[in-house]
Amino acid sequence: MVKQRNTINNLSPYIPGKPIDEVKRELGIERVIKLASNENPLGNSPAATKAVQEWANNMAIYPDGNGTSLKQALSDKLGVTPDQILLGAGTDQILEIIAQTYINPGDNAIMGDPSFPRYSSVVKVMDGQSIEVPLTEDYRMDLNAFLEKINDRTKIIWLCNPNNPTGTIISAQEQIDFIKRVPKDVLVVLDEAYYEYARGGDYPESLDLLDEFDNIIILLTFSKAYGMAGLRIGYAISNKDIIGYLNRVRGPFNTNTGAQVAAIAALEDQEFIEKSVQSNNQGKEYLYSAFEEMGLEYIPTHANFLMVKINISSSEVFKALLKKGVIIRSADIYGMDDWIRVTIGTCEENEIFVKALKEVINDLQS
């Protein structure tokens, strides 16, 4: 047997939300709803579907590896130059590219605990160390503790804003105060995968920081509010030097043409985003009141998912909900054993989930 690299022994595979078809097959049930992967329950913009359909006769041709048209569209929308943008097969791939570009063996990266699990694994793959800093009592990233952890081997700080799985945010003021105190040779990655849901109020407009700081990267994705998780397309924005280095690591055709054309079409359909955010806000209010009525503690969210404390083993609740055709996330993987994370669905899905949750809690407590 060929021996794998030593560091691979310390990794576990990412556990994705359970696919709908698998649950249908395993349990022999017809109707299954998935509220586990923070997908958009309204689907995607019809304009994106049309763009993919038009492209579908042209699969023989390699993509434009540079993604020129999509970068131009993003550049027009965001007021940055195309050479400040890197495209990736989801922001997930960009996390890998960042770690490959900056982590030497023995370097470290700082992140919240719990936060998005991939921050840690992409660093460990590079023989780096992941420094995980517990959240504060109100489930927010403890930025002062982050600062205390920085040492001369620190290369990256992953700021997940809103934080997955808690849905809590760092405000614009907190973020700028923090970045000012981070040494200039440490990269601060602002992962804003849920930006469209979170924007407004205290939430930062991080693009405004690009002129002032040359050690930040902003990550955005078409997977969440744009509803295009299956196509795998996301992007990073930074200064052109950082983007230049990331581009050296990126594979030549890392984003496909279907994803690129769909993303261009989706950007033009901002009405779809507004509708999605509105639906999410309604769903959030409904779930808040349902949890209050059930006497369950929850963490108010700035994203399209929410953590609720069910006071019994989350893996038991996960299994029992699954039997009723509702897929959620058991939060034991985040070290929050009696919590579950649920993606905010359509009105109908939210109602089905609440009804099933009530039954499950009743059954498990009796």
Ligand X SMILES: Cc1ncc(COP(=O)(O)O)c(C=O)c1O
Q: Interface with ligand X by CB under 6 A: which residues?
A: 38, 90-92, 116, 160, 164, 191, 193, 221, 223, 229, 234
Nearest Cα to Cα of residue 134 among 100, 106, 105, 110: 110
Residues 164, 168: Cα–Cα separation, whole Å: 8
Q: What is the DSSP letter of 139?
A: S
Q: Which residue's CB is nearer to ligand X, number 163 or number 290?
A: 163
- Helix axes of 347-365 and 270-294: crossing angle, nearest 10 degrees: 30
Q: Which residue's CB is nearer to ligand X, number 169 or number 229?
A: 229
| Least Å from the CB of residue 224 to ligand X | 7
| Least Å from the CB of residue 9 to ligand X | 25
| Least Å from the CB of residue 95 to ligand X | 7
Residues 100, 114: Cα–Cα separation, whole Å: 23
Q: Which residue's CB is nearer to ligand X, number 218 or number 290?
A: 218
Torsion from C-alpha of 128, 111, 196, 198, nearest 10 degrees: 180
User: What is the b/e burial string over 64-77, where b = at least 16 CB atoms within 10 angstroms of the residue's CB?
Assistant: eeebeebbebbbee
| Least Å from the CB of residue 39 to ligand X | 9
| Least Å from the CB of residue 331 to ligand X | 14
Q: Copy the structure tokens of residue 222.
A: 């078409």
| Least Å from the CB of residue 152 to ligand X | 28
How many alpha carbons fall within 13 Å on the CB side of residue 84?
A: 20
Instruction: Name, in order, each residue with C-beta under 8 angstroms of 65's C-beta and a sequence gap of 6 or more.
Output: 252, 253, 254
Q: Which residue's CB is nearer to ligand X, number 221 or number 350?
A: 221
Q: Which residue's CB is nearer to ligand X, number 305 or number 324?
A: 305
| Least Å from the CB of residue 96 to ligand X | 10
| Least Å from the CB of residue 14 to ligand X | 10
Residues 235, 217: Cα–Cα separation, whole Å: 10
Query: How many CB atoms neighbour CB 217 within 10 A?
Result: 23
Which residue minimizes CB distance to ligand X? 90
Q: What is the DSSP letter of 159?
A: E
Q: Which residue's CB is nearer to ligand X, number 146 or number 356?
A: 146
Q: Which residue's CB is nearer to ligand X, number 116 or number 197?
A: 116
| Integer CA distances (angstroms), 250 to 100, 223, 245, in order | 9, 19, 9
Q: Which residue's CB is nearer to ligand X, number 339 or number 356?
A: 339
